[in-house]
Each structure stands twice: as C-alpha cells, then as structure tokens.
Amino acid sequence: MDSVAHRLSAVGAGAALELRGVTRLFGALAALTDVTITVRPGERRAVLGSNGAGKTTLFNCITGDFPPSSGTIRFFGEDITQFPPYERIRRGLRRTYQISALFPGLTVQDNVYLACRGVSRGRFSFLRPGQNDALMHATDTLVQAVHLSAVKDQRVAELAHGQQRQLEIALALAGAPRFILFDEPAAGLSPTERRELIEILTSLPSHIGYIIIEHDMDVALRVVESVTMMHNGRIFKEGLPREIESDPEVQELYLGGGHE
C-alpha cells in the first residue's frame, strides 16, 4: 500500500465501526438514507426503531449480506464496503439473525463445535468431534459462557426458545470476534429468559463491542452504553440510554404506533 492510501485507510482508525453516508435502495424504496454512525472498540450500542425503520438493513449493509447502494463502511479503520461477508467474518465481525440459523438435528455441543471448527484454520480437515482438544476446549468455554452446559448433549430441536437464542450467541462468539451484531435476541423470550440474556450479554469480554437491535427498551437500555434511534431509514436520535428514554420525541414515536 502506498503512503497516501495507507493514510486514507487510517481515517477513522480509532473506531471499531464507522459508517458514512450509507444509503441502501430496494428498487424505489430507500431502506436506509445517509446513515452515519461511529462506534468505538468495545462500545455497546442499541439500535431502536419501529418496524421497517431500517435496522436489519443496517446490519445487512455492515455484514455485506446486502452491500450499501452508496456510502462507506470501515471496520477497525479498514474500508470493508465492498468486501464479501466471509472477509468481514475473517476480520472479527459476527452477527446473529432475527430468524434462527441453527442445525436443529444436532446437539448444542456439536453446533458450537462446528462453528469453532468453521472459523479455525483446520476447517477442511477430517477430524471428528472429540479428536481436537483445543477446539473441544473452545467449545466448552462458549457453551458455558451462554449458560448451556446443563443441556450440552441435547438436540437443538428439543431446546426452549430462549436456549436456542443463547446458542446463537455462542455461535457468534466462535473464533475471535471483535464486534457482534445482535438482531432482536430477546424476541419471544419469557421474563426469566430475558434476565438470562441480559446476564450473558453483560458478562461478555469487555473488548467485544456490539450493536443490539431491540424493541424492548428495558432489555436494550440495560445492556448498552449508547443508543441510536432510527426512523424511516434515517438516524433520528443518538444519546445515552437515560437521555433517549426520557426524550419526549422518542417517547412519542414509540408510543405513537408503528411499533409492535
């Protein structure tokens, strides 16, 4: 890299994630318009907004599932706007989906093991589960981190909904993530499961930053230090949780409909 290119790529180097003027069109519909966001390494941020506000589209642009129509995205200083999803994963970016993406016929342990093996160097080897100590150790650690040790030999299909969501978090933690995007991890959880989720999120290693999309303010505001509120594909407001919570415009938007 020449020195000019190197200097340019260092713009925003202090940020974990930096979006500038990100717009995403679907035909004539602008799902995102001119979104600019900066998130520090280790920062934990909630993205709030009513149905169709553009939250999942924001995640899809960051992960590369649907690249932006215009604008730039930097991950730890590097311009990743045009990178395919696997290149972003290699750099430590992870996500969980609004709709589950687990192997229902496999056990908890096998799901986590496969995720660990998928991001490790030996992923094309023909090792069978149990033959690689380092991977087994990583698997155990992750199963424990999401409070699923007691059910590690159960098939995913037999788990409660909340346990499945916990397992998704374990999969996102496989490898060495630096930043995770959680798309509504609390959707459909019971009050007990919500408490469990809050505990898991707040106990993640402090260097791992995340953005969490969450409709439930009680959950969101307990697990983050900053909030971005979206409306109609645009940033509507940013601030500390207590500022957002007490903001009259936010309250009106939230109570005023469009939100399930």
Ligand X SMILES: Nc1ncnc2c1ncn2[C@@H]1O[C@H](COP(=O)(O)OP(=O)(O)OP(=O)(O)O)[C@@H](O)[C@H]1O
| 78-107 binders of ligand X (CB under 6 A) | 98
Provide the minimum distance between the beta carbon of 117 and Mg ion in the complex, in angstroms, as a whole number: 29
| 126-165 binders of ligand X (CB under 6 A) | none
Provide the minimum distance between the beta carbon of 233 and Mg ion in the complex, in angstroms, as a whole number: 12
Beta strands 93-96; 179-183: pairing state = parallel
Phi-psi region of 3 (alpha: psi -120 to 50; beta: other; left: phi over 0): alpha
Provide the minimum distance between the beta carbon of 58 and Mg ion in the complex, in angstroms, as a whole number: 9
Residue 85 contact partner, candidates Mg ion, ligand X, none, CB within 5 to 8 A by sort of partner: none
Provide the minimum distance between the beta carbon of 67 and ligand X in the complex, in angstroms, as a whole number: 12
| Alpha-carbon span 232 to 50, nearest angstrom | 9
Distance, first Cα to last Cα, the chain: 49
Burial per residue of 161-190, b for 16 or more beta-carbon CB atoms within 10 angstroms, e otherwise: ebbbbbbbbbbbbbbebbbbbbbbbbeebe
56 lies in the site for Mg ion, by CB under 5 A? yes
User: Edge to edge, what strands does the sheet with 70-75 contain?
Assistant: 29-39, 17-26, 70-75, 78-79
Provide the minimum distance between the beta carbon of 74 and Mg ion in the complex, in angstroms, as a whole number: 23
Residue with tokens 């940013």: 238
Give the helix ranges, DSSP H, for 106-247: 108-119, 133-145, 161-173, 191-202, 217-223, 241-245
188 lies in the site for ligand X, by CB under 6 A? no
> The dihedral of CA 234, 70, 212, 154: what is its sign?
positive
57 lies in the site for Mg ion, by CB under 5 A? no
One-character DSSP codes across 103-120: -TTSBHHHHHHHHHHHHS
Provide the minimum distance between the beta carbon of 188 and Mg ion in the complex, in angstroms, as a whole number: 14
Decide: 250 and 229 in contact? Cβ < 8 Å: yes
Is the CB of 55 or the CB of 94 nearer to ligand X?
Answer: 55
Residue 51 contact partner, candidates Mg ion, ligand X, none, CB within 5 to 8 A by sort of partner: ligand X
Is the CB of 7 or the CB of 161 nearer to ligand X?
Answer: 161
Is the CB of 117 or the CB of 168 nearer to Mg ion?
Answer: 168
Q: Considering only 36-44, 55-63, 81-89, 220-228, which stretch makes contact with Mg ion by CB under 5 A?
A: 55-63
Provide the minimum distance between the beta carbon of 169 and Mg ion in the complex, in angstroms, as a whole number: 17
| 24-43 binders of ligand X (CB under 6 A) | 26, 29, 31
Pick from 12, 16, 46, 49: which binds ligand X (CB under 6 A)? 49
| Alpha-carbon span 182 to 216, nearest angstrom | 13
63 lies in the site for ligand X, by CB under 6 A? no
57 lies in the site for ligand X, by CB under 6 A? yes
| Alpha-carbon span 71 to 68, nearest angstrom | 7
Instruction: Summarize as ranges the residues that interact with ligand X (CB under 6 A).
Output: 26, 29, 31, 49, 51-57, 98
